[in-house]
Amino acid sequence: MDLLEYQGKQFFAAYGIPVSPGEATGDVDEAVTIAERIGYPVVVKAQVHTGGRGKAGGVKLAETADECRTHAANILGLDIKGHVVKTIWIEQASDIAEEYYASFTLDRSAKKYLGMLSAEGGVEIEAVAESNPDAIAKIWIDPTEGLTDEACRAWVEAAKLNPQATNGAVDILLKLYRAYTEGDADLVEINPLILKPTGEVHALDAKVSLDGNAEFRHPGYEQYDATQPRDDREEAAHAKGLQYVGLEGTVGVIANGAGLAMSTVDVVNQVGGAPANFLDIGGGANADVMAGALEVINNDPEVKAILINIFGGITRGEEVANGILEATKRVEIDAPIVIRLDGTNAQEGRAILGPNLNDKLMMEDTMLSAARKAVELADA
Ligand code: GDP
Ligand code: MN
């Protein structure tokens, strides 16, 4: 789950990281009211699930109510890399002496957490990594050992920040590490982390991605789930509890298990087609789940054929077959369906489907032939 900047700042604040006071709104008049309450100058910031807002005109300093009104009106509705701004965050403006970069993420190949810190912040870190990789100080942290005060201090020294910033940076990075681990985050990033002329270190931006699978142990995380960007198809699938990702093609895909669903997407591509989605109905899928899946796919006007690829494990073939028949009775499906059914009790399942096959419901023996058939139908 990707957080908006202001949500990320509230998340940081809960771990004691200093952020600027501010408030979110979707309304120009309210933006001015908030600014009056905070006191000028303020910064008006677009809240969208993408970076580079500054460059796109989504971050503006306002010294007066008039300026605040103008910026709020311009930024609301602005399209930033395909994300239309519906919410802005008004915060107290900060004086900046220096801009740094700090983040924690997971280095899967090292099986450790990776902390990155650079004195060259404010710009895209990818650009720094390209032009001046030595300017990024990296630290690999064993999750069972954690980040010690000493290791953190040595890391900050290696990054060659202004010595004035050392204590403040160490303090923030230890808190950021706690936020990253205890908060079940996949990524926490502060860019820029600033040194103020007064010597304080402060988080001026927040990029946070939380592990959605950990939502159950963080009651407050539902609010983040509610603001995830989803297209209409993804919203409908999410409401039904389906693992769905919308794609651009014409072949609707239903499979059981994420691995098989991904392979199915691949094989559709391999035979020259384009998948309309990724959809994993999981193990033990019943008729309800199958009907829900078919309904979501059927509502996608781009879908011209549907490929159902099931490899029975715990799920038995006859249940899948009955589920598909039940689902097609409940939902009027426009596109032809091609089924590949294998695994546990596949024979029984195929026997059930056999008498019901027609030019809207077809069966193929293999994943490859089923994909070919579905692509051929979609192209027809
Ligand atoms: P991003 O472009 O999406 O990464 O948005 P940021 O929140 O990082 O803002 C972009 C840039 O705007 C920062 O790197 C700063 O240079 C500038 N900026 C943001 N907030 C303030 C502020 O309070 N005071 C000043 N002087 N500049 C700011
Ligand atoms: Mn930034």
pLDDT in tens, 42-85: 999 999 999 999 999 999 999 999 999 999 999 999 999 999 99
Question: Which one has a higher pLDDT value, 164 or 322?
Answer: 164
Name the residue at shortest CA distance from atom 12 of ligand 1. 54
Residue 155 CA, ligand 1 centroid: distance in Å: 25
Provide the pLDDT for residue 75.
98
In total, the chain counts a number of residues equal to 380
Query: Which of 35-39, 169-173, 284-288, 341-345 is the least confident region?
Result: 284-288
Query: At residue 260, what is the residue type?
Result: L
CA-atom Rg of the chain in angstroms: 26
Provide the pLDDT for residue 360.
95
The ligand 1 atom at the shortest distance from the C-alpha of residue 55 is 2
Provide the pLDDT for residue 283.
76
Q: Is the pLDDT of residue 37 over 90?
A: yes
Distance CA 293, CA 291 (A): 5
Check: CB of residue 191 under 8 Å from CB of residue 199: no
Provide the pLDDT for residue 287.
75
Residue 191 CA, ligand 1 centroid: distance in Å: 9
Catalytic site includes residue 348: no
Q: Which of 249, 245, 243, 279 is nearest to 264 (CA)?
A: 279
Provide the pLDDT for residue 40.
98
Instruction: Return the best residue to mutate from 7, 9, 40, 43 for the ligand 1 pocket (most ligand atoms within 8 A of CB).
Output: 43
Provide the pLDDT for residue 315.
80
**From 5, 67, 120, 189, active-site residue:** 189
Distance CA 295, CA 209 (A): 30
Residue 153 CA, ligand 2 centroid: distance in Å: 24
Once rounded to an integer, what is the mean pLDDT over residues 155-180?
A: 98
Distance CA 85, CA 90 (A): 14
Ligand 1 cavity residues, CB under 6 Å: 43, 51-54, 59, 93-94, 96, 99, 122, 191-192, 204-205
Residue 179 CA, ligand 2 centroid: distance in Å: 19
Q: How confident is the model at residue 319 (pLDDT cuts 50, 70, 90)?
A: confident
Once rounded to an integer, what is the mean pLDDT over residues 327-331?
A: 88
The ligand 1 atom at the shortest distance from the C-alpha of residue 56 is 2
**Cβ atoms within 10 A of the Cβ of 136, count?**
18
Exposure string for 196-220, b = 16+ CB within 10 A, e = fewer: beeeebbbbbbbbbbeeeebeeeee
Mean pLDDT of the chain: 95
Catalytic site includes residue 100: no
Distance CA 49, CA 229 (A): 7
What is the pTM assigned to this prediction? 0.82
Once rounded to an integer, what is the mean pLDDT over residues 284-304?
A: 88
Provide the pLDDT for residue 253.
98
**From 100, 101, 180, 224, active-site residue:** 101
The rounded percent of the chain whose pLDDT value lies above 70 is: 99
Query: ∠ CA(102), CA(228), CA(7), 5° rounding?
Result: 45
**DSSP code for 275:** B
Q: In this structure, which residues have their CB less than 5 angstroms from ion ligand 2?
A: 191, 205
Provide the pLDDT for residue 291.
85
Once rounded to an integer, what is the mean pLDDT over residues 241-258?
A: 94
